[in-house]
Amino acid sequence: MESKATTDSKRSDDWSFFEAVYCISLSERSDRRREAHRQFAAVGLADRVEFVNVTRHPTNNEQGIWESHLACIAKGLAAGAEHVLIFEDDIVFDDFSRAAWQSAVSFFNVHEHCRLLFLGCLVTGSRRTGNPNVLSVDYRSLAHAYAIKRSLAVELVDEKWRQVPFDAMLAGLAEEKFAVYPAFAFQSNAASDNANHRGLEKFRRLCGGLKFIQKMNETFHRHKTAIIALHLLVIAAVLWLAWHW
């Protein structure tokens, strides 16, 4: 369904479409903010982003992350923003295409049901939309870079801590989720501030790092049928050769 946003006079072709842009950062991690600022500068966003410095939660890192994201959502609502971008300070941009981003923002603007758009994430499935730069996804995890519309922000802002990670809460929403294609926002391989993920972090590094994992995840689910078919063909060929050797 198309919204009245098509008649909106605001530009929908770049970062200026978003009235509020936030980046979550622990107060003591000035090093992360410096690196994040360099990343934002590389894509033309440095003069728009506001760092939201938060205090580490005293007992539960996941609760702290949850509350930090909701604090940014509340901040955007209080500012009167209709469209908000939220980042985490371990953001890394790669293969950024302004044309592809403009196309994705246009889709986000025009379609009312597109209320949550990830600039990079992990998924368990994906489907084409009418836009080559936006996929409808079965979102799994990672909330380091996403756009959210006011209508959804209003629904989420008062959510109480549920003893689950913030991205798990997003995954459980009865809400169609979308992702920019190809993704251009990734989490860095820097040591996580979330002590609960240290083991997972080591495993991810062994697998090539989160950026590599995100790209492989995206490629697999975009071309899953062809990849599975190719593997089956190879297996069949090996079995045929073994039988006739």
Dist CA 27 CA 44 (whole Å): 24
**pLDDT, tens only, 195-235:** 555 555 665 566 557 888 998 889 878 766 666 776 677 77
- Identify the bridge partners of residue 187 per DSSP, sorted by sequence position: 91
* Cα-Cα-Cα-Cα dihedral sign, residues 67, 69, 72, 78: negative
Tracing tokens 């440095």 back to the chain, one arrives at 46
15-244: CATH, from 3.90.550, 1.20.120, 3.40.50, 3.30.1920:
3.90.550
Half-sphere exposure of 110 toward its Cβ, with a 13 Å CA cutoff?
12
Dist CA 189 CA 204 (whole Å): 9
Residue 229 is predicted with a pLDDT of 72
For 243, residues 6+ apart whose C-beta sits below 8 A from its C-beta are none
Which element (helix H / strand E) includes 24?
strand 20-26
Task: Give the other-Cβ count within 10 Å of 100's Cβ.
Answer: 18
Q: What is the pLDDT along the chain (245 residues), one digit of tens a residue?
A: 444 444 344 444 489 999 999 999 999 999 999 999 999 999 999 999 999 999 999 999 999 999 999 999 999 999 999 999 999 999 999 999 999 999 999 999 999 999 999 999 999 999 999 999 999 999 999 999 999 999 999 999 999 999 999 999 999 999 999 999 999 999 987 666 555 555 556 655 665 578 889 988 898 787 666 667 766 777 767 776 777 77
Task: Give the other-Cβ count within 10 Å of 53's Cβ.
Answer: 15
- Long-range Cβ contacts of 227-235 (<8 Å, 24+ apart): none
For 28, residues 6+ apart whose C-beta sits below 8 A from its C-beta are 56
For 128, residues 6+ apart whose C-beta sits below 8 A from its C-beta are 135, 136
- Identify the bridge partners of residue 111 per DSSP, sorted by sequence position: 2
Q: What single-letter DSSP state applies at residue 192?
A: P
CA dihedral of residues 220, 222, 228, 234 (deg, nearest 10): -80
In angstroms, what CA-CA distances link 219 with 117, 214, 224? 18, 9, 8
Dist CA 94 CA 186 (whole Å): 8
Q: Is 138 helix (H, G, I), strand (E, B) or coil?
A: strand
Q: Which parts of the chain fold into alpha helices (H)? A: 30-42, 61-78, 98-110, 150-156, 166-171, 198-206, 210-222, 224-244
Q: What single-letter DSSP state applies at residue 111?
A: B
**Inter-residue contact 14 to 98 (CB < 8 Å):** yes
